[in-house]
Structure 1
């Protein structure tokens, strides 16, 4: 098998190296980067101008990614240390997918990497996706968690009875795991609720006010993407989509809440 391009001042991580999600050694110097794929990886310190090339053509890159997939470019991208920070850029025909579903294209400016663990993806042929794990050590490296350590408690948002019912109806398509789910319209949500509680006076304006109150409450407590100022125009369904995603990710809403709509379906 051909060897990767040597990385001056770096060390190789062999295939089978544990996921970087488990952390890096506690003795790792701040600014050190670890980069890993299923084919192995590299680690190197924070020297100005130090660069790590990745892509599918093993002899031309320091880190091989998607070696047998011609949808991945031979030199697909680069990690480089510049002005005391690591940056990622892409040269490939297909964009890199960063956290929060951000896509990085060949003409985009490099993006700085945060300290800690980051996942990057390149979509390959068919339904394949190739994972590049990164870990930038900070002043206090995040080391592996011991098996017996307690699980951090999750933050579940408090909803009153009316809020839970209305948001379950709004998010019904998500809770039913429909592909490409979108929030129900105000009118559609109100129709569901009026069928369930005809005496309560549900209409689209009442639903809109209630959901807006929940968005404002969560935004005030630090949840991003729930205000018009953050999103900009056109808004579309994005505010409600972001709200639903937060409620699902925090397990505030779960598929079990669909039982609240059973009578509406009747």
Structure 2
């Protein structure tokens, strides 16, 4: 990469620059700012403009994971196209986005939303390398401070008493803070429900049907990752895992709900 052209029209962010989570100074609408541990880069929008990031400092705009060979020399890029910034993975390992979404090298680029987006590149020995990205909004300002405004309540989802019990049984390992939590199998959940509510003829199929009803309802309400079309094959536990994590994130299910299992 020609060093004279490398940063044309852009601005280097020095090592030790403040985190982008707090926003950025006023900038041209649609500008992108990207920051890693060793520094970063910001540049305005221009059709076809590309910002590269990866391990090979001389050949990228933002160096990330410089001492970690699990990070590719050019691991990804931010490209401005059709009025938006798009993220593409060009490395060997996937990039993790918010909501446990993974972007692999063979997949299409995905658009970045306005505001703050943390990206994580997995490295060696359980390391994760953070790349902070901030796309300025239409007014070019960082979000206004709201120090004294009332806190927004989490958006909780309505569940019937039976649905809540089924989901607490299915997701009890998540509520117990198990770091490797997975949903119970349909049969395991049915066996425990039969002990808790013997008056109901619980079967694996009945549990599956109750959970599927909740997934479909939340999917229609805009929650992503709850259909086979979104997740792709093989599905495995992905649908129920996404459902349970959303229910915990929204505080629809909380650890004290484990009392239902007593």
TM-score, structure 2 normalization: 0.85
State the match for 2:206 in structure 1.
206
Rounded Cα–Cα distance in structure 2 between residues aligned with 1:235 and 1:71 = 27
Rounded Cα–Cα distance in structure 1 between residues aligned with 2:217 and 2:190 = 21
User: Taking structure 1 as reference, are residues 145 and 15 closer, same or farther at Cα in structure 2, changes over 3 Å only?
Assistant: farther
Aligned residue pairs total 258
State the match for 2:92 in structure 1.
93
1:182 correspondence with 2:179: no
Indicate if the aligned counterparts of 2:94 and 2:102 stay in contact, CA closer than 8 A.
no
User: Residue 231 of structure 1: CA displacement?
Assistant: 4.4
User: Residue 168 of structure 1: CA displacement?
Assistant: 0.5
**1:6-45 map, 5 Å:** 6-25=6-25, 27-45=26-44
2:134 aligned counterpart, secondary structure: strand
**1:111-126 map, 5 Å:** 111-126=110-125
State the match for 2:54 in structure 1.
55
User: Taking structure 1 as reference, are residues 82 and 162 closer, same or farther at Cα in structure 2, changes over 3 Å only?
Assistant: closer
User: Residue 39 of structure 1: CA displacement?
Assistant: 1.4
State the match for 1:138 in structure 2.
137
| Root-mean-square deviation (Å) | 2.6
User: Taking structure 1 as reference, are residues 62 and 238 closer, same or farther at Cα in structure 2, changes over 3 Å only?
Assistant: closer
Rounded Cα–Cα distance in structure 2 between residues aligned with 1:38 and 1:17 = 9
Indicate if the aligned counterparts of 2:56 and 2:66 stay in contact, CA closer than 8 A.
yes
Rounded Cα–Cα distance in structure 2 between residues aligned with 1:134 and 1:261 = 43
User: Taking structure 1 as reference, are residues 233 and 77 closer, same or farther at Cα in structure 2, changes over 3 Å only?
Assistant: closer
User: Residue 152 of structure 1: CA displacement?
Assistant: 1.7
Please identify, of 126-135 and 65-74, the stretch whose mean Cα deviation from structure 2 is larger. 65-74
State the match for 2:77 in structure 1.
78
User: Taking structure 1 as reference, are residues 15 and 247 closer, same or farther at Cα in structure 2, changes over 3 Å only?
Assistant: same
2:148 aligned counterpart, secondary structure: coil
Unmatched segments (≥5 aa) in structure 1:
none
Indicate if the aligned counterparts of 2:89 and 2:103 stay in contact, CA closer than 8 A.
no
TM-score, structure 1 normalization: 0.84
State the match for 1:226 in structure 2.
226
Indicate if the aligned counterparts of 1:4 and 1:61 stay in contact, CA closer than 8 A.
no
User: Residue 46 of structure 1: CA displacement?
Assistant: 0.8
